[in-house]
Amino acid sequence: MSEPWRAGIDADRRKRRRRITNQREALRQLTVGAAVAAAGLNAVLFVQTGVDQSGAAAVQDAIVSVVNGLFPGAGLKPPANQPTPSPNARPIATTGGS
C-alpha cells in the first residue's frame, strides 16, 4: 500500500522525466533544423558566389565537378553546347509593331 506522499513524489518525477525527454527531443529537432538550414544556405551562397564571380556556366561546371568529386562513378557531364531548337518550331516576331 503506497503512501499518498509517495504517489505525489512519483508523479513529480514522472512529470520531470517527461519534460526532460520532451526538451531533448526539441533540442534534437532544433539542431537538425539548424544543420539543414546551414547546409542549405551554404549551397545557395555557393551558387551565388559562383554566378557573381564567374557566370552561370562556371557554376554549372563547378557543380558537375563537385558531384563528380563526391561520386566518381556518376559520370555527370556539363552540356557540350546550347540546346537545339525544335524542328517544327514556328518563328515568333520579337521586334516590330507600333
Residues that bind another protein (CB under 8 A): 20, 23-24, 26-27, 30-31, 34-35, 38, 41-46, 48-50, 52-54, 58-59, 62-63, 65-66
Whose Cβ is closer to another protein: residue 8's or residue 23's?
23
Grid cell digits, residue 39: 547546409
Q: Output the DSSP codes for 14-60.
A: HHHHHHHHHHHHHHHHHHHHHHHHHHHHHHHHHHHHHHHHH-HHHHH
Nearest approach, Cβ of 5 to another protein (angstroms)? Answer: 27
Nearest approach, Cβ of 81 to another protein (angstroms)? Answer: 21
Nearest approach, Cβ of 78 to another protein (angstroms)? Answer: 12
Rounded-to-10 torsion of CA 48, 52, 58, 59: 0
Whose Cβ is closer to another protein: residue 11's or residue 54's?
54
Radius of gyration over alpha carbons of the chain, in Å? 29
Whose Cβ is closer to another protein: residue 11's or residue 45's?
45
